[in-house]
Chains A and B, each alone.
Chain A
């Protein structure tokens, strides 16, 4: 039976939304098996990312909550791991890069990992420092990699103050670095007070905002990873 591009993409979307990792792997393999129909990047953007956009709608309408989103993310990565090695990078110029992690004193990383997923989908170079990361490590890594973005997460009120110090240190030496803050205790006012450029208040907010980022990405980018 002939397979169409639309059918393969729908299988990817369905697998992500229904958090079926094995189905997602199978659909990703179909992408590779049908190079005449679609590219791996089509599979990532119009399949996996499109599926995650649907997840975002389900999350915003309170049909899905964080457990479901985490499982959808697992399914997405199952497909991404198959497709990503086959995506060709254009030669000219470096890829956009991000340094991210949860600040010292915070052993929670759900929000951070959801944000990381957005950068992974977009094909960014991701330097994930993990969780409970000493402040100086953020500064050192950012200055070392000269990343375009530094993203820090703190789930607890008690750990978010560390972010302020990192922002000051990074901005002093590299004022062009965009700084994103995330975490349940943050408010936009606090993020502004700390000198950050963007903020997401929770893993949920990260899902909504991140998925909107994917939506924009899909509109403007076809065929290859961004630079």
Chain B
């Protein structure tokens, strides 16, 4: 039997069909500085040029032999398309991700334009997906969107949003319903572009910030609507503290759960059972950038697998400035140690 392509491996895994080995990919940004340097460009330039955006993802995936890729790289695109501006830090030294400089400061100011899907860098992202569909038919092509609450925190000031959860509950609920529709519209748009999977990153909603009770009343219903609307394989990713909400995350209906290094995956696996796809959960900066011993990198990856993930995912975007040998060890360890079946996915 011919070896599975990366796309086949990933898509079979999402269906929980037997595969040859654990796929190595992520729903978070996986572009690395080595790929950017090979393209002779800069990190700040890959966000607003479709050739560079697609090229950085594809060059990284080919360089490290990943099974999939994901674009875009920053969380500012939708807020920018709504007229909130973007800071790209062209002149700054080193790697800085784009941010939103002019968030709405009051609930009464919020006025989401109807044409945001065609504004700002949205057409750039569309074109980049077109390039990837043409140039990477063998790889799983992923999109990621912000969950409603996190998107809300990108277009309005987070402290106003957080305080509003308690003091202006009705207004905040109405606002979250509005941004939930934006998240759904983004997912449907990416589906229309032919993406293979969608990662919904509700990264600002862990219990570092919100109570489990608040999560149940304000986050879970909206995330459930989002996952109900997605037709392609979907991932519910939340970074930070998730142990207290993992069962509710599961109830939202995504095809897979993704958590970061703060989650106790052994306990999570016991709570949700062996039939649920779990991705995670290594610290990308602490593992791929700072560790100076590749044996330690391999240990981190092996622990994720031993704890019971079905795919080893970084807990956040891979910090682009990885050590080459660490990245190689990460991928190689997933391939070799991930030959054994994972809890939810058997092997061929």
Contact = CB atoms under 8 A, between A and B. Distances in A.
Interface in B67-119: 87, 89, 92, 94-97, 99-101, 103
B209 A158 contact: no
Contacts of B99: 105-107, 132
Give the contact-size bracket for chain B: 20 to 34
Interface of A: 19, 62, 65-68, 70-71, 74, 104-110, 113, 132, 134, 156-162, 184-185, 187, 189-190, 193, 202-204
B89 A185 contact: no
Contact of A70 (B97, B163, B317, B319): B163
B237 to A, nearest CB: 14
Contacts of B207: 62, 65
A157 B283 CA distance: 10
Contacts of A108: 158
Interface of B: 87, 89, 92, 94-97, 99-101, 103, 158-159, 162-163, 165-167, 207-211, 214, 240, 283-286, 290, 316-317, 319, 321
Q: Is the interface of B mostly helix, strand, loop or mixed?
A: loop
30 contacts: A65-B207, A65-B210, A66-B209, A66-B210, A67-B162, A67-B163, A67-B165, A67-B166, A67-B209, A67-B214, A71-B167, A74-B163, A105-B97, A106-B99, A107-B100, A108-B158, A109-B159, A134-B92, A157-B284, A157-B316, A158-B96, A158-B317, A159-B96, A161-B95, A161-B319, A162-B94, A162-B96, A187-B286, A190-B285, A203-B209
Given A185-B285, A185-B316, A159 B159 contact: no
Q: Is the interface of A mostly helix, strand, loop or mixed?
A: helix
Contacts of B284: 157
Contacts of B94: 161-162
Given A157-B317, A184-B240, A107 B166 contact: no
A132 B101 contact: yes
Contacts of B211: 62, 65
A190 B290 contact: yes
Contacts of B103: 107
Contact of B96 (A62, A105, A185, A189): A105
Given A66-B209, A113-B159, A156 B97 contact: yes
Contact of B89 (A67, A105, A109): A105
B210 A104 contact: no
A104 B96 contact: yes
Given A66-B210, A158-B96, A185-B316, 10 more contacts: A62-B211, A67-B214, A71-B167, A74-B163, A105-B92, A108-B158, A109-B159, A134-B92, A187-B283, A204-B209
